Amino acid sequence: MARDVSDSTPVASRDELVAWFEAGSKPQDAFAVGTEHEKIPFYELCHSAVPYEGKPESGLGGVRALLEGMRDRLGWSEICDGLNIIGLYDDGGGAISLEPGGQFELSGAPLKTVHETGAELDRHFAALRKVAEPSGVKFLALGMNPKWRLDEIPVMPKQRYAIMRRYMPKVGTRGLDMMFRTSTVQANLDFSSEADMVKKLRVSLALQPVVTALFANSPFTDGRLNGLLSARSQIWLDTDPARTGMLPFAFEDGMGFERYVDYALDAPMYFVKRGETYVDVAGQSFRDLLAGRLPGMPGERATLSDWANHLSTIFPEVRLKRYLEMRGADAGPKPMLLALPALCVGLLYDGAALDQACEMVRPWSAAEREALRRDAPRLALDARIHGRTAREVARDMLALARAGLARRARLDAQGRDETHFLDPLDRVLDEGTEAERLIEAFRTRWAGSVDPAFVACAY
């Protein structure tokens, strides 16, 4: 999450939380797409991690200097945690933030077309190159750090991450790997009503493992092959089951905002923010905060910002806020950063494509969806569901999305619609995933070393 919400409006009932979600509904002509992506900074000369304060003894700037440079170049406002700058935001809705291990995230503004997203990325990378080059910093376009051990990764000075770092080992074995070693690309999309939300959520959840397969790009850990194609996705399988997964309840009768509220109320909290202080209430219940009975803060009552911030600490494969977040993809090269929003817009914003996607996933059982989720990190497009391979499903997905984007007919200055942003996914289906190409390089021309990835997979 780029920026914690500040809204002190008190919340007294579950119904108000449901109403908060309902207020996110938008008319179709107001639909937008937001794209978020993370990237791992490293020093080009030695392929080592970039600490927050840099390496003053070597004259190398750090993550703080990157943020300050972007602030000065873009004119964006600071987000601070105490005396530390930890992010930036723009009045247009964009933001830059830090993930726990220094992953540098652009949370893109809600935009009308994927063309605009492409222009946004161009501006971001152009500014970032100007700021990073003097410090010899580049960024990895991979879904997981390929080389550094967990203890080699610097910790960013954010209070919320200190709380998560203490809590994660209590609820899974891979939570710290998730926090410090992975990076993703996400697409955020709108809904027009509760029924529209449910339809989009179900299609997106069912197909998210296929997205994982298409975008698989994390085959290395600790300098070696890890036996997976998306280690990032595999890590999520053992990261706090109370707040992750495929949300099987979303496919049950009666699904709606109320059901998701109940799920979120039962997901353990991490913190409550009051002023500039994050109070550690990890493992406690939002239901108790709502009732004024939170053990860690007796008598304190919930606010809308507490609710919004709590929702940002729940990590299912598709997350509901006042929009839907698609969370299944590894980060990758720039064309793949644009392919994800194009795929999601084509599938979900065109009525015919959405209806056909609904019919495609309707026969799948909860057990089949879960099996596909567990197989996709290892097998990617060779995983199977309901008698078909993920590759076959992905071809159908792409055909539906391409038709949906063509019907949308949002043209750029050259007269092109948004379908060309899907071309990298056609190449994945024909030639293999990014991960498979990297594995082949590792075994042949890289001679068993991951160091060439710091050149071949760098922004």
Q: Is pLDDT above 90 for 4?
A: no
pLDDT digits (tens, 9 = 90+) for 44-66: 999 999 999 999 888 899 999 99
pLDDT digits (tens, 9 = 90+) for 124-172: 999 999 999 999 999 999 999 999 999 999 999 999 999 999 999 999 9
The answer to whether the beta carbons of residues 126 and 120 sit under 8 Å apart is no
The answer to whether the beta carbons of residues 202 and 360 sit under 8 Å apart is no
Question: Domains in the chain, start-ordered, CATH in brackets?
Answer: 14-456 (3.30.590.20)
pLDDT digits (tens, 9 = 90+) for 388-404: 999 999 999 999 999 99
pLDDT digits (tens, 9 = 90+) for 420-435: 999 999 999 999 999 9
Q: Is pLDDT above 90 for 117?
A: yes
Length of the chain, in residues: 459
The answer to whether the beta carbons of residues 235 and 182 sit under 8 Å apart is yes
Q: What is the pLDDT of residue 1?
A: 43
Q: What is the mean pLDDT of the chain?
A: 97
The whole-number average pLDDT for the span 315-326 is 98
Q: State the number of CA atoms in the 13 A half-sphere of 110 facing the CB.
A: 11
The answer to whether the beta carbons of residues 116 and 102 sit under 8 Å apart is no
Q: What is the pLDDT of residue 381?
A: 98
Q: Is pLDDT above 90 for 238?
A: yes
pLDDT digits (tens, 9 = 90+) for 288-304: 999 999 999 999 999 99
Q: What is the pLDDT of residue 5?
A: 63
pTM: predicted TM-score of the whole model, two decimal places: 0.97
| Helix segments in 215-350, DSSP class H | 231-236, 257-266, 286-290, 304-311, 334-348
> Which DSSP string corresponds to 326-339?
EEEEEP-SHHHHHH
| Residue 121: CB atoms within 10 Å | 17
Read off the DSSP letter of residue 280: E
The answer to whether the beta carbons of residues 67 and 137 sit under 8 Å apart is no
Residue with tokens 């009552």: 301
The answer to whether the beta carbons of residues 332 and 142 sit under 8 Å apart is yes
Backbone dihedral angles phi then psi of residue 333, each to the nearest 5 degrees: -60, 160
